[in-house]
Chain A
């Protein structure tokens, strides 16, 4: 049976193809009334019909290639961007991906009804086969849309991760020969690598004898974060600079002691101001309050 049907005009796939081409206009018209198209193309109905036609053409092309189960079929590439735009518009409206998927599923019954109208006196077996193929094709369409929406989301996440790396690691010059890095957010391996590289580069650039790592903005310190800090401190020391870790909040100090984390002989200070005070003292620089009778040094 399958060998017989394959490639001939009577095969359900090609039947669906012919049906899609024949009924392109009507399908697009009916889809334009469905919630999905109505919600996306709010301005003009003609636009929705055009979009529907494009999707129907894509489906016909996929059926023509007899790849109804293949989401990577060539026919889908043409409408992928459009589908992604539609899915994105629905997600922006606050729909979950499951709801978008349900709206896509709603596109199927109108097409199926048209198909049944087209085959009034066909044998029951053929009707069933055609309806089955159409179901598979519409299912594949749903997969394509979901896939596209997911990859869009993934691309967004990747972009934002890169931006986060760039944004969150400024190196600040506090004094001649003193640089500071305010660390903000969770320190994972990738981020601590970037921090280490930018800090070491700026130590060379500014000939900084002291570098202050301020962890006020780091929410938690576990053994991994401590290890990253130790590595950065060790690398800076190898280059001839001394590292001071500052901004250890009381809760974090407690956690670190509970976890048994040891920062070794790293100099630590409670706040960035204390760290700067320590560094200035080491450099032999005193800060004098003008006008004060006795010179106050800190």
Chain B
């Protein structure tokens, strides 16, 4: 696998997105421009990681992604659908306003996909318990 994507002699050419494991949840953080091949590679990697680890949820943080075209939008939807098949739930996190508007204008409202404002909210959604007090701002009295 690595011959196909890594550069020869360990050159720092990598178009792989790291998949981090946090307990029962896999965390993927996408950054900057995502090439089509990278997106497809991520799709493969995620399916494999879920099967290998038996994870129950996937969090995809796309707050660092400034442009989502119709291809990447479809990949996101496909990832969500395929993790569903593998009995894991995908939550897309931190989509930028401009990206959301673009997707809606493209007609990609991604109805089956779960979304959350931030990774914290996504963790809560997946594990069912609050990581910390979540919408209590400083105004809320603490016990």
Q: Which residues of A contact B (CB under 8 A)?
A: 176-177, 196-197, 200-201, 203-204, 207-209, 231, 234-241, 283
B117 in the interface, Cβ–Cβ < 8 Å? yes
Which A-chain residue is minimally distant from B93 (CB atoms)? A240
B104 touches A238 (CB 8 A): yes
The smallest beta-carbon distance between B80 and chain A, in angstroms, is 12
The smallest beta-carbon distance between B122 and chain A, in angstroms, is 8
Q: Can you list 12 pairs linking A and B with CB atoms under 8 Å apart?
A: A177-B135, A197-B101, A203-B117, A204-B96, A235-B97, A235-B104, A238-B104, A238-B109, A238-B110, A238-B113, A239-B94, A239-B95
The smallest beta-carbon distance between A263 and chain B, in angstroms, is 13
Q: Which residues of B contact A (CB under 8 A)?
A: 92-97, 99-101, 103-105, 109-110, 113, 115-118, 121-122, 135-137, 139-140
State A240–B124 Cα separation when bound (angstroms).
13
State A204–B94 Cα separation when bound (angstroms).
8
State A201–B122 Cα separation when bound (angstroms).
20
The smallest beta-carbon distance between B23 and chain A, in angstroms, is 21
Q: A209-B135, A240-B116 are in contact. Are A231 and B97 (CB under 8 A)?
A: no
| Contact partner, A235, options B92, B101, B139, Cβ 8 Å | B101
Q: Which residue, B93, B99, B101, has most C-beta atoms of chain A within 10 A?
A: B101
The smallest beta-carbon distance between B59 and chain A, in angstroms, is 11
The smallest beta-carbon distance between A69 and chain B, in angstroms, is 48
State A209–B130 Cα separation when bound (angstroms).
14
The smallest beta-carbon distance between A21 and chain B, in angstroms, is 62
The smallest beta-carbon distance between B127 and chain A, in angstroms, is 16
A234 touches B95 (CB 8 A): no
State A201–B136 Cα separation when bound (angstroms).
21
State A239–B116 Cα separation when bound (angstroms).
6
B104 touches A241 (CB 8 A): no
B136 touches A207 (CB 8 A): no
State A236–B110 Cα separation when bound (angstroms).
12
Q: Is the interface of A mostly helix, strand, loop or mixed?
A: helix
Q: Which residues of B contact A236 (CB under 8 A)?
A: 100
State A269–B105 Cα separation when bound (angstroms).
26
The smallest beta-carbon distance between A22 and chain B, in angstroms, is 66
Q: Which residues of A contact B97 (CB under 8 A)?
A: 197, 200-201, 203-204, 235, 239
The smallest beta-carbon distance between A177 and chain B, in angstroms, is 4
B121 touches A209 (CB 8 A): yes
State A253–B88 Cα separation when bound (angstroms).
39
State A234–B110 Cα separation when bound (angstroms).
9
The list of the 4 closest CB pairs from A to B, nearest first, reads A200-B97, A235-B100, A234-B109, A240-B115
Q: Which residues of A contact B105 (CB under 8 A)?
A: 231
State A283–B140 Cα separation when bound (angstroms).
13
Q: Which residue, A197, A200, A201, A203, has most C-beta atoms of chain B within 10 A?
A: A200
State A28–B115 Cα separation when bound (angstroms).
75
Which A-chain residue is minimally distant from B91 (CB atoms)? A240
Q: Which residues of A contact B122 (CB under 8 A)?
A: 240
Q: Which residues of B contact A204 (CB under 8 A)?
A: 96-97
| Contact partner, B104, options A203, A207, A234, Cβ 8 Å | A234
The smallest beta-carbon distance between A201 and chain B, in angstroms, is 6
B135 touches A238 (CB 8 A): no
Q: Which residues of A contact B101 (CB under 8 A)?
A: 196-197, 200, 235
B115 touches A209 (CB 8 A): no
- Known: A200-B97, A234-B109; 19 extra A-B contacts, CB below 8 A, are A176-B135, A176-B136, A176-B140, A204-B96, A207-B118, A209-B121, A231-B105, A235-B103, A236-B100, A237-B115, A238-B92, A239-B95, A239-B96, A239-B100, A240-B93, A240-B94, A240-B115, A240-B117, A240-B118
